[in-house]
Every structure is written in C-alpha cells, then in structure tokens.
Amino acid sequence: MKQELIVVLGQRIRHTKRYREIVNVFMKNGFSHFLFRVGLTDRGLAKGKEPDETNRNLQSIGKRLRNALQELGPSFIKLGQIASTRYDALPSEITEELEKLQDHVTVIPYEHVQYTIETELDDTLENLFEWLDPEPLATASIGQVHTARLLSGEAVVVKVQRPALKSKIDTDLEILHGIGKILEERTAWAPRYRLCDIIGELSNSLRNELDYLMEARGAERISKQFEDKAHVKVPLVYWEFSTKRVMTMEKIDGIKVSKVEELDANGYDRKIIARRLADAMLHQLLDNGFFHADPHSGNICILPNNTIAFYDFGETGLINEKQKQHFASIIVNLHQGNTKAMIKTFSKMDIIGEKTKIEVLRRDLDDLHARYENIKMKDLSLGRIILDIFNVAYANYIKIPAELALISKVILTLEGVLRRLDEEFSLMRATEPFAQKLMWRRYRPKELVRNSLEEIGEDISIISELPQDLKDVMDVVKKGKIGLDINVKRGDRIMRRIDKLSNRLAFSILMLAFSILMASLIIGFAIVGKDTFIWELPIIEFGAVIAFLMFVLMVITIIKSGRM
C-alpha cells in the first residue's frame, strides 16, 4: 500500500512538472490569453499578453502552434505530424503549418543504442551482429536507424527506440487528455471539432508507433499483398532480431523516388514508375484495405527494372469493405455529378448530423461538382477534391470517419510524389477503375447475400429493442408529472429499417402465398391425373415464368433503391 502511494505521488509530481513545462511553452508562443480563458492559467500570468488582431488569424496561430510543439519535444512533434493529416477536422491553415514540423532531435548516444539492443535481444552485440555502424543512418523523434550485418552475412538495418520514451509519451498523453476534456467543457469550438476524439485517435496512432512488432507485422502483411508482383518490393523482417523496441529488417539499396535527375541518369522510366507506384498504393487501399499510410518520398526508393520498394511501416491504415465502397461511391458520384447518390452514401454511412440541412448539402455538392466539371482529367487533383468534399461535409455538420481522413492524407502525399515523377500522370484517372470495380463488387451474389444477412441482423436488433425502449419511456412518464421532451436519435434510420423490413415481409408473404398456390395446383392435377392446362394455358409453366419475373423484380428493386 505504501509503495503504491509513493508511485501515485511520484506520478502526480511528474505530471505537475511536465504540465508546467507545457503551459510555459504555450504561453511563450502567444497562447497565454487563451489558456486563461479556458481556465488553465490565472489572470496574472495572462495579463497584458493578449495577442493583437493581426496575430489572431489562423495562419499565425498555426505558426505559433508549430513552434510550441517543436519546442515540447518528440511526443508533441509526432502528435503534430499526425494531426497534420486530419484535414477533415482541422482548418487548412493549421494543417499546412503542422506539416512543416521536422524531427530536429538529438542523436542517441551509441552506448544507449548498444544497451537497448543487448537488453532487448538478451545477448551481446558481438554474438548478434558481425558489425553495427556506430553512426546512425537516420534519426527521428521515435527512434534511430543503424546499418549492420548479421553473422550469417545478410546486410540489415536496425531500428532502435529512444530510451525512456514510452513513459514520457504516456505522461504527455495523459495531460493532453485532461486538457482536451477541459476545452470541451469550456469552449464552443472543441466539441464541434471533436477534440477529445481527435486526441484519442492521435494517442492510439502514437502508441502503435512505439511497438515495433506491430510495425513489423504491418510490413509483412503488405509484403504478402505483392507476393505475385515482381515490380514491388518490401524488406524482409528478421523476427529473431526484433522486439517491441528493436526491429531488424533487410537492407535495400535504391534511389530515392524524389531524386528524379539520378533516376534519369541511370536510365529509369519515370512514367512506368509513376503508374506502378499509383497501382501499388491503390491496390493496398481499395483492393486489400490494409495500406502504408505514409508514402512520402523518404519512404519509397526505386530498384533496377523500375521496381518500387517501400520502407518504414510505422504508420499503416485499415479500412473495411463497406468503407472502401463508400469512399469509391463518393469519388465516382462526385465525378458524375450524382449529388443524390452522394447524399445517399452519407446516409448509409450514418454520418449526417442532426443540424444538417439536406437541401443546403445538395446545393453545396452541386456547386462543388460544377467547379470541377470542365477541368481536364490530367489537371484534376484527387487529393484536393477530397479536401473540398471534407470542407463541404464540415460546413454541413457531417462527421467524416477517421479512416477516410487517413486515406485523404495518403492520396495527397502520393500525388506530391507522382507529380515529380510525371507531371501528366492523373491519379484521378488511375483511381477510377479501382473504384468502379469496388462499386460493382457489391452486386455479386455473395456480397448481396452477405449484405442482406447483415441488414436483417440489424433490423432484428432494432425491432427487438423497440418494446424495451417504449417500456422505458412509459415508465418515466408514469413516475410523475414531468415535462416530456423526447429526442429520438436515429429516428430516420429506424423508420427506414422498419420500412425495409415491412416491404421484405410483405414481398416474402406474397411469394410464399404464390408458391403455396402453385404447389396446390401441381398436387391437385397429379391426384386427378389431368394435364396442367386451364383454358388452354400451361398453368405450371406460366406460374414458373411469373415466379421468375417476381424474383428478378425483387433483385432489381434491392439493387436500385435499397428499400427492400
């Protein structure tokens, strides 16, 4: 008990010290008046420090925020870098500044590197490697990379995590969660931006990057996607030399994709490279759903025969089949100007807010389509289009899922790399076949059956909960004279479900009645030994045709309207 108390007190002291550091840095960068307004500092500290009007614009705030995060060290730098991808939730002026955050961090002393490797792998450096270069190949906020050679002769790179990093990041994240709650309670903008949710997502991303085994599994999973594609390479993971804080991978030597002059000098075909890189990323995103989430030029190099090699799988993303189909629908429908279908997709995703006005949303989407309607395909930026969709969504109180926000970041990053390789290359054109394939995939018999079963399961769940929900409401009403203000969340959705279910039941009863009638006719004619003709019409054959047409009608109705 005494020991636990000491641990708790030590934690509070550590938190208090770091909290003061964070507050002081933000005050120094011009946020003192803001900190006072939300109750994080007292009036005396903020007095006379309110920024003037010229410093209140978002771009100025972004610059000062970037400087503050840079000064606060590795965990805040990394959080800022991840936050820079949240184009759906943060103003563009803020994300543009956060993108400039750099890992200006000190080099880990070699003795720390050696100690971490030997502790994690439970052996001496001499028994593990033939040699390990004391000079780092690369240094970042989370870890440091060294080249080495195994005793078996393979050239490798060894990624080593910074000492005591996890405890520092845990402290920072706990403080940030606390600040997020305060801001959501005391400001109007924080709940609208879903600040606590964003902090939670950033925290999960950062904690995942601290586990090198997760990164290694991600690399291996992506490698399996390209087992039958010789022009895409992912380095091998040496599992016996990898732990949560040390990761050893195959060393691949190539030309960085950004060094276009060197690629040209060595006879590489940049147009082929651009097409292969786009296809490789779209294959991950829209075919498999598990993807490299940070495809910037530093994480991609080119090998002989115009082969693409991916590095650094610290950031990966995962989207399910429905999310892929929704993403494809949004892009294709915007390109075709089908505003009604886009709104229907938003509805299916269940992201339309209570304050959303459908007519305003439809008008904004029509305006967005008109803006791109007469632009040539090669001049269209898929990333910019997605950002514009996010801006429309945010203005209309639509909450874009984090997974789709991550896809937008990947596409924007990828477009920047592709543009340097081939100015004529259109990622929009390259995406369309993948998107069309996804949209048609939902109409396969297997998908129709699976989706129908899922829909039926949801319908049964909603209907089965209604009696209890009604009982709860009536219990509250019976308890006394109280004002009754019922806000039925998802009311629209429930009514659509009931509508669908009732249509299905009615159609099923009709089909069943028709089947019973046909069976009765067959049995009756068989008993009396007569032909199945009435008024010279082949009743059984005629009934079979009607049944088939009813079945086709049902399938077409399901596909076209989704109301069955």
* Per-residue pLDDT tens over the stretch 94-122: 877 877 776 566 788 999 999 999 999 99
The tokens for 196 are 């606590």
Domain boundaries, the chain: 2-102+173-180, 105-172+181-252, 318-441, 445-475+487-561
Total H helices, total E strands in the chain: 23, 13
Average pLDDT over residues 292-303: 91
Q: Once rounded to an integer, what is the mean pLDDT over residues 170-184?
A: 84
Residue type, position 117, single letter: I
pLDDT for res 309: 96
pLDDT tens figures, 442-460: 655 555 555 555 555 555 6
289 conformational bin, left if phi > 0, alpha if psi -120 to 50, beta if neither:
left
Mean pLDDT, range 387-406, rounded to an integer? 80
Note the residue count of the chain.
564
Q: What is the pLDDT of residues 255-272, one digit of tens each?
A: 999 899 999 999 999 999
Task: Report the candidate in 141, 148, 157, 156 with the shortest Cα–Cα distance to residue 210.
Answer: 141
Per the model's pLDDT, the better-predicted residue between 35 and 152 turns out to be: 152
User: CA triplet 100, 104, 109: central angle to 5 degrees?
Assistant: 160
pLDDT band per the 50, 70, 90 thresholds, residue 76: confident
Confidence check: pLDDT of 195 > 60: yes
CA dihedral 362, 368, 370, 376 (to 10 degrees): -140
Q: pLDDT at residue 51 above 60? A: no
Hey, what are 362's tokens?
A: 């439809």
The letter for the amino acid at 478 is K
Q: How many CB atoms lie within 10 A of CB 113?
A: 24
> Which residue bears the tokens 């009743």?
539
Query: What is the token pair recorded at 112?
Result: 């720390």
Residue 486: per-residue pLDDT: 46
pLDDT exceeds 70 at position 215: yes
Mean pLDDT, the chain, rounded, equals 77
For 472-525, what is each residue's pLDDT tens digit? 666 666 665 455 444 444 555 555 555 555 555 555 566 555 566 555 655 555
- 543 by DSSP, 3-state: which? helix
Q: Can you tell me the distance from the alpha carbon of 159 to that of 488, in angstroms, rounded to the nearest whole number?
A: 52
- Res 235: pLDDT: 96
With 90 as the cut, is the pLDDT of residue 254 above it? yes
Bridge partners of 150? 129
Query: Could you tell me the pTM of the whole model?
Result: 0.70
The mean-pLDDT minimum among 29-38, 114-123, 335-344 falls in 29-38
Tokens of 300: 């991609």
